[in-house]
Amino acid sequence: MSAIAAPLKKTLNVALIQLSAGFDKAKNLNHFKTHILKAIGESKNKLDLVVLPECFNSPYSVSEFRNYAETIPDGETTQFLSAIAKEHQIFLVGGSIPELDKTNDKIYNTSVTFDPQGKIVGKHRKAHLFDIDIKGGITFKESITLTGGDKATVYDLDGFGKVGLGICYDIRFPELAQIAARSPNDSFAMIYPGAFNTTTGPLHWHLLARARAIDNQIYTIVCSPARDLNSGYHAYGHSLVVDPYGKIIAEAGEGEEIVYAQLDPELITKVRQGIPINYQRRFDIYNNVVDGATVSDV
């Protein structure tokens, strides 16, 4: 067995901003900015990475996505987040926003990540659209207004290593995390801004986050909106961070909250040395999902 390289190069300090969003975009943006600054000021350690939830600048509503859609990178929200990341020297995963692509007039659910210089280093369009009909539960079809992305997303957090990015329903499809975690991508974490509801959340939110971590021996970060019972969509909440053993090391409740976690690089190496699944896969029996995968960094 060859030596196991640590995909996370040094300790990473993370904050998850769990807030709700309403119909006033400017108010939503300012609300999140206030809490980002609060996280930076209150954190016991210098923050390296801040993560926002899915659809943080708009209501989570298929009838509203086009009304709130912006172009990237010149849209209001993208410029707003870029300025915050640059001013405060942090990596910032901008949850997700409705994106308008003027080349085809289609709307995407898109997450953009900024480096400490305010530059876009990662962009992911939600690949798997949330089209479900649970008897006695919820019916919701994103495909009414949204188009799915066509790439897995892996990018570098300079000085720390690579991460993979998905959005909400993407977490149910393990291939994206497998592509990110395996060579040649070698990511140390999957990040999922997400908005599970109060039907699917209690059933699968924790289970899926832990499964993606255990399957790939990486950290999994999932950031939800806070639950707002006065809105049309009731998010589950419970933003959390899972370590490579599958242990939840930080978790929010249902309301508005900031969650902090510290990602230890040595833990990934320890887990992979103890349970060496990377060297025990049987590609003579099944295919390696990385082969032929379509991967985008920006």
pLDDT score recorded for residue 1: 45
Confidence of residue 116 (pLDDT cuts 50, 70, 90): very high
What residues are annotated to the active site?
54, 126, 168
Query: Region 237-263: what's the mean pLDDT?
Result: 98
Query: Region 12-29: what's the mean pLDDT?
Result: 97
Average pLDDT of the chain is 95
Helix pair 25-42, 76-88: axis angle to 10 deg: 10
pLDDT score recorded for residue 134: 76
pLDDT score recorded for residue 298: 84
Query: Region 171-187: what's the mean pLDDT?
Result: 97
* Lookup: tokens for 213: 């971590």
pLDDT score recorded for residue 3: 58
Q: Which fold has domain 12-275?
A: Nitrilase/N-carbamoyl-D-aminoacid amidohydrolase (3.60.110)
pLDDT at 235 over 70: yes
Residues with Cβ < 8 Å from 112, sequence gap 6 or more?
A: 72, 73, 78, 81, 94, 97, 120, 122, 123
**How much of the chain exceeds pLDDT 90, in percent?**
90
* pLDDT single digits (tens) 210-226: 999 999 999 999 999 99
* pLDDT single digits (tens) 187-199: 999 999 999 999 8
Confidence of residue 297 (pLDDT cuts 50, 70, 90): confident
Query: Region 104-127: what's the mean pLDDT?
Result: 98
Query: Region 102-111: what's the mean pLDDT?
Result: 98
Hey, where are the domains in the chain?
A: 12-275
pLDDT score recorded for residue 136: 76
Query: Region 76-99: what's the mean pLDDT?
Result: 98
pLDDT score recorded for residue 5: 74
Confidence of residue 135 (pLDDT cuts 50, 70, 90): confident
* Pairwise pLDDT comparison (237 vs 134), residue with the higher score: 237
pLDDT score recorded for residue 211: 98
pLDDT score recorded for residue 278: 87
